[in-house]
């Protein structure tokens, strides 16, 4: 009988961590979640998904190497998912050191544990498509990074560190380069939640207005519950690699907001104010992405495009529902999880 897989999720209290825990439990994993102070955290997202009592929760500080060694030594995981760290691009300009330490230094600490103690564990590192900066054409796994924020810089550092440890020490490291992916679990400081929540309140009689910065920036917006499935699929490969997860469709923030307001029978321009104080010091103006490797090698594609995402968010906001909207994942590849003539891994010698 095959032993039960044991997963550790760093960042389990966040959006992706909660959805990933839900997914892994459904696949028979023993799931351990790590938070800086587990006793003080409510783990509200886990509770809303009905799984708080099914996840074994631990306190752990990713900035402290001894804490990581002690914690992982007790759990003895077969897989580690690192989704932790300061996750707001805007906030990273105000907290650059904290952002770098919580993302890049934390990655080094986990990888050092794997190098020194247990190199057989499979490791997933969450990276961001913000690392590409402004794209010319559609970026893929071989496109050079050009980060334009402290957040993207930290994520790029975590990516390259993962590449180095994979090549130098033979550790099974996979990085998922994730486009923007949304859910009702996003904090309201994120612009997508801000737009939806404001529009819903206006539709219910509020006299407020929507204040945004640059509405001409363009992003690829997907649905978070689908993206954690992509993470799990990537970890099933016998040969570790990196993969970009996106919908393949790019829209401006104005289009996103206009779609939300239109679905509520409102006209965006009647309620929109452009606020110059919300502009970032540097900004990624356009982010176009090519997720074809994920489709060809993992059998994964995003079913929810931007219009679906706005509809999901509005429905959840109106109902006060924070659980995942039902979705159907694509089939796994016929030939399993081995590479199929992939492009070279970024930073590899081959």
- Domains of the chain (ranges plus CATH)? 6-185+222-249+288-303 (3.40.50.720)
pLDDT (tens digit per residue) in 32-54: 999 887 877 889 999 999 999 99
Q: What is the pLDDT, as a whole number, of residue 281?
A: 86
Q: What percent of the chain has pLDDT over 70?
A: 91
Overall average pLDDT of the 67-84 stretch: 95
130 is catalytic: yes
pLDDT level of residue 336 (50, 70, 90 thresholds)? very low
- Decide: 75 and 6 in contact? Cβ < 8 Å: yes
Q: Which of 205, 183, 166 is nearest to 315 (CA)?
A: 183
Alpha helices in 217-335 (DSSP H): 224-235, 253-263, 292-298, 306-319
pLDDT level of residue 324 (50, 70, 90 thresholds)? low
197 is catalytic: no
Q: Which member of 151, 165, 227, 271 is catalytic?
A: 151
Residue 124, beta-bridge partner list: 81, 174
Strands 272-274 and 251-252 turn out to be: unpaired
Q: Residue 329: is its pLDDT beyond 50? A: no
Residues 6+ apart with CB under 8 A from 113: 65, 68, 69, 72
Q: Residue 321: is its pLDDT beyond 80? A: no
Q: Residue 64: is its pLDDT beyond 80? A: yes
Q: Which member of 128, 162, 183, 197 is catalytic?
A: 128
Residue 152, token pair as written in the block: 């993207």
Q: What is the pLDDT, as a whole number, of residue 323?
A: 54
Q: What is the pLDDT, as a whole number, of residue 38?
A: 80
Q: Residue 308: is its pLDDT beyond 70? A: yes
Q: Residue 150: is its pLDDT beyond 70? A: yes
For 22, what's the count of Cα atoms within 13 Å in the CB-facing half-sphere?
Answer: 24
128 is catalytic: yes
- Is residue 232 classed as helix, strand or coil in its secondary structure? helix
The single-letter DSSP state of residue 129 is G
The single-letter DSSP state of residue 61 is -
Residues 6+ apart with CB under 8 A from 44: none
Overall average pLDDT of the 170-195 stretch: 94
- pTM here is 0.90
Bigger pLDDT: 188 vs 228: 228
Q: Residue 87: is its pLDDT beyond 70? A: yes
Is residue 128 within a helix (H) or strand (E), and if so which, with residue range? strand 122-128
pLDDT level of residue 118 (50, 70, 90 thresholds)? confident
Q: What is the pLDDT, as a whole number, of residue 253?
A: 97
Residue recorded with tokens 């998904």: 49
- How is 206-230 classified by DSSP, letter by letter? ----EEES-TT-EE-EEEHHHHHHH
């Amino acid at each position: 009988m095959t032993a039960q897989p044991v997963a550790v999720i760093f960042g389990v209290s966040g959006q992706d961590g909660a959805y990933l825990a839900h997914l892994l439990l459904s696949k028979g994993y023993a799931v351990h979640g790590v938070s800086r102070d587990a006793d003080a955290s409510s783990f509200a997202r886990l509770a809303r998904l009905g799984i708080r009592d099914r996840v074994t929760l631990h306190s752990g500080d990713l900035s402290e190497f001894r804490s990581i060694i002690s914690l992982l030594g007790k759990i003895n995981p077969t897989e580690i998912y690192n989704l932790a760290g300061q996750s707001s691009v805007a906030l990273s300009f105000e907290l650059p050191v904290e952002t770098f330490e919580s993302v890049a230094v934390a990655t080094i600490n986990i990888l050092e544990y794997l190098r020194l103690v247990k190199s057989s564990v499979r490791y997933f590192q969450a990276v961001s498509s913000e690392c590409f900066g402004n794209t010319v054409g559609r970026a893929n796994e071989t496109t050079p990074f050009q980060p334009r924020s402290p957040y993207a810089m930290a994520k790029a550092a975590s990516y390259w560190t993962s590449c180095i440890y994979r090549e130098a020490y033979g550790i099974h490291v996979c990085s998922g380069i994730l486009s923007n992916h949304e859910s009702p679990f996003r904090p309201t400081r994120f612009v997508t939640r801000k737009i939806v929540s404001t529009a819903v309140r206006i539709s219910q009689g509020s006299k407020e207005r929507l204040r945004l910065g640059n509405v001409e920036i363009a992003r690829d917006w997907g649905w978070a519950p689908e993206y954690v499935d992509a993470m799990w699929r990537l970890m099933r490969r016998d040969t570790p690699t990196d993969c970009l997860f996106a919908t393949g469709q790019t829209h401006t923030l104005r289009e996103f907001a206009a779609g939300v307001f239109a679905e509520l029978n409102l006209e965006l321009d009647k309620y929109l104010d452009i606020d110059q104080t919300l502009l970032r010091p540097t900004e990624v103006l356009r982010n176009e992405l090519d997720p074809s490797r994920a489709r060809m090698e993992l059998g994964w594609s995003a079913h929810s495009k931007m219009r679906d995402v706005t509809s999901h968010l509005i429905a959840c906001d109106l109902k006060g529902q924070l659980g995942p909207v039902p979705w159907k994942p694509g089939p796994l590849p016929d030939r399993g999880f081995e590479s199929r003539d992939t492009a070279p891994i970024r930073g590899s010698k081959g």
